[in-house]
Structure 1
Amino acid sequence: DVRPGVIVKSALLVLTTDKQYGGNTSKIGVYQPLLPWAQPTSLERGLASDFVLDRNIEADPSVIFVERFESWRWRSAWSDYDESGDAETVEERSDGGEPLDGKALKVTIRKGKTQGLNMHYRFAQSGGLEPEEVYFRYYLRFGESWDPVIEGGKLPGLAGTYGRAGWGGRKPDGRNGWSARGSFFTMPRQAGPLSNFRGVGSYLYEVGMASAYGEILGWGLGPSGALEKNRWYSIEQQVRMNHPGKKDGVLRAWVDGKLVFEKTDVLYRTVLDLRIESVWMNVYHGGTQPAHKDMSLFIDNIVVARKYIGPMAGNHR
């Protein structure tokens, strides 16, 4: 075990055998491990690089939806909002960190509860067409209180559940629904160099998955999905629907403009009727176990577009 406060710079792996048969000398070959998170990835700049602090980003023809949480009427822009959650806009320093740019949405999972946020932006209900491909970027900060020790849970993503399948053990069959939310993981239980980081990834409901519940997929490329508490990150996800019946759907994720996850063989559907129905803003603890204490995270500067968005330009906290 690594002692608290000790940073490992090198390690020696020793292999031993309990039994060895035959009198000949055995040779063991060991390949150098190729760690995806140790490989450099380049910063990808998108359409947001042309707009300082996302100001007037709505003018880009590829942009579908923008939410900055500056108006007290912010809920009215969303197709639905579940009152069982706990979300409010805040502007001042809160839970160990600074605001990103003006107001942000503070989402709290209360002790003994599971729901922090559950709302949708539904493309068809908002006057548009359900897309075949979309990019969804938001800024995320885990507060000082964000310490999930019992279970992980769900974070915002994209979906096409149509109220039929793709969540809660409702298994996709290619005709009923799908979802690709984000996920957060339980925190490290031992003190160490990563004790202040919280892991995130994807939570995918697709056709042919082994379990009735979604697949948890870690973000292991580039800087990975290890996010430090009290720091703002640009989180972007892309979904491209597969050709019906073909395993060629796409799910990608970027953290601060660097690719951290890519899956290009997703089977979202077998029929053309299923598309990208909504942006699903979901913050949920579990599983089934409730939070052991109040835990808060912060969301700001949501942009949904037909092209890659990338981190916003300009100085921000």
Structure 2
Amino acid sequence: MTQFRLTNLLFLLCGGVVSCGGVASAGAEQVPEAPRIDSVGMAESQPHATDAAVIWYDDFDDPATQRQYPERSGETTDATRFGDRGRSLQMDYRKDERGTGGRKLFFGDSPVYPAQAVRPEETFTDVYWRIYVRHQPGWTGGGPAKLSRATSLTPPGWRQAMIAHVWSSGEALTLDPATGVRGDRVVTTKYNDFANLKWLGNKPASQFQLHSREESGRWVCVEARAKLNSPGKNDGLNQLWIDARLEAERRDLDWRGGYADRGINAVFLEAYWNDGSPVDQSRWIDNFVVSTEPIGPVVCPRNPVLFVTPNHGPGGQRSWEAEIANDPAGQSVVWTSRPLRGTDRVRVGPDTGQFVGSLAGANQLDASQVYFVRVRQQGATGPWSAWSPWHQPFRTL
């Protein structure tokens, strides 16, 4: 058989569309990458602003709120923002540098900046904190070591009874709890007194790869919890949720031994990259909440707007579609969009798609329900991408 006839036979066996056995067809089509939902349009008023359980809420929109942080670096920006409104905190990384941008919040019985502490004189032993974080598209180098921490500061100065670190682990996130107490006595003598800290375990890390290229370019909900142990017992708890899924936890912790003079009284948002960034790049923080109760994702109207990430190819985009489910595994889909063209957003409703399943015939989503979204796009030449994972959770009013 001649080489010409063999090549044509292989072309026919492969359907004339894709390469097979190293022989590429002239009509090969590029399958685009699966996009993501960048963010959702929030309700004008978030319940965190008036919830008695909330210690602090900052959407980074009000300059006066920024001045309430005793220590802060980096500027807010309206160039990158959640839900296409307001502002966010920008963290910048220059090549080989460790990053700029951060906020230090003090509250309760903090001995540091007591005059500027939020809800002073209160003692908090169980604290949740939530942020949304967005890494620029094509983020490189894995995770900066630091993202956030909650801590118990004790007098004199910056001695720490415990620290609940939320740190990077490669492209993932991990919890790295530490205690500065032995028996009922604080043994640290300064901030980050590594010689006197006892580490309580930093594995396993999250399955979700927050710092991967695939998850860059969109807002991700990150929530953590630190619950102090009862004095003298090993019943402390440290937990991490990403996109409303429990990703890591440390149970039976002895955060503070028998020490009970101070509670958790500070949460810090941090940019520090121990080894420096391999390239110039940025990330952003928004919708920062500290509470004594679980926080969860942002709250949206029952006909929310979904914002899709820009197309990064390969090739152009013909259209995109989104689906909404009321469970994180997508077992119960309740709305499907029609193919959408020439727009980066869609308002969920019967005019832009179809309510299905338990919401068949409805014209809006159920109230007080957490939903998850997935999305796919069609390339300019016709093929569809795979569906994205279910992500970008939100709660309806």
- Coarse TM-score class (shorter-chain normalised): 0.5 to 0.7
Match of 2:140 in 1: 147
The verdict on how the C-alpha distance between 1:161 and 1:217 changes in structure 2, with shifts beyond 3 A counting, is farther
Q: CA deviation at 1:283?
A: 1.8
In the TM superposition, 1:80-119 aligns within 5 A as 80-81=71-72, 83=73, 87-93=74-80, 101-119=85-103
Asked if the contact 2:80/2:87 (under 8 Å) is kept, the reply is: no
Match of 2:209 in 1: 226
Q: Quote the Cα distance in structure 1 between the aligned partners of 2:101 and 2:208.
A: 21
Match of 1:295 in 2: 281
Matched residue SS, 1:146: coil
Q: CA deviation at 1:145?
A: 5.6
Match of 2:8 in 1: none
Q: CA deviation at 1:107?
A: 0.7
In the TM superposition, 1:1-317 aligns within 5 A as 52=43, 55-81=46-72, 83=73, 87-93=74-80, 101-124=85-108, 125-128=117-120, 129-144=122-137, 146-148=139-141, 152-162=144-154, 163-165=157-159, 176-186=160-170, 198-206=171-179, 212=195, 215-220=201-206, 224-227=207-210, 228-270=215-257, 271-286=259-274, 289-314=275-300, 315=304, 317=307
Asked if the contact 2:133/2:219 (under 8 Å) is kept, the reply is: yes
Q: Quote the Cα distance in structure 2 between the aligned partners of 1:157 and 1:57.
A: 20
The verdict on how the C-alpha distance between 1:100 and 1:240 changes in structure 2, with shifts beyond 3 A counting, is farther
Matched residue SS, 1:116: coil
Partner amino acid, structure 1, of 2:152: G
Q: Alpha-carbon deviations, 1:153-201, whole Å to 9, x = none?
A: 1111211144545xxxxxxxxxx52211211233xxxxxxxxxxx3222
Q: Quote the Cα distance in structure 2 between the aligned partners of 1:183 and 1:93.
A: 23
Matched residue SS, 2:290: strand
Asked if the contact 1:154/1:203 (under 8 Å) is kept, the reply is: no
Q: CA deviation at 1:130?
A: 3.1
Larger Rg over CA atoms:
2
Partner amino acid, structure 1, of 2:123: E
Q: Alpha-carbon deviations, 1:266-302, whole Å to 9, x = none?
A: 111120024202011112112xx33333231111011
Q: Quote the Cα distance in structure 2 between the aligned partners of 1:133 and 1:226.
A: 27
Asked if the contact 2:234/2:253 (under 8 Å) is kept, the reply is: yes
The verdict on how the C-alpha distance between 1:201 and 1:262 changes in structure 2, with shifts beyond 3 A counting, is same
Q: CA deviation at 1:207?
A: 5.7
Q: CA deviation at 1:74?
A: 3.9
Matched residue SS, 2:248: strand
Q: TM-score, normalised by structure 2?
A: 0.52
Bigger relative contact order, structure 1 or 2, given CA contacts below 8 A and separation 6+?
1
Q: Quote the Cα distance in structure 1 between the aligned partners of 2:138 and 2:254.
A: 37
Q: Quote the Cα distance in structure 1 between the aligned partners of 2:241 and 2:129.
A: 10
Partner amino acid, structure 2, of 1:260: E
Asked if the contact 1:207/1:267 (under 8 Å) is kept, the reply is: no
Partner amino acid, structure 2, of 1:243: S
Partner amino acid, structure 2, of 1:225: F
Q: Quote the Cα distance in structure 2 between the aligned partners of 1:241 and 1:208.
A: 12
Q: 112-121 or 254-263: which moved more?
A: 112-121
Match of 2:35 in 1: none
Partner amino acid, structure 1, of 2:236: G
The verdict on how the C-alpha distance between 1:217 and 1:297 changes in structure 2, with shifts beyond 3 A counting, is farther
Partner amino acid, structure 2, of 1:60: D
Match of 1:191 in 2: none
Q: Cα RMSD over matched residues? A: 2.8
Asked if the contact 2:151/2:163 (under 8 Å) is kept, the reply is: yes
Matched residue SS, 2:49: helix
Asked if the contact 1:65/1:305 (under 8 Å) is kept, the reply is: yes
Name the % identity: 23
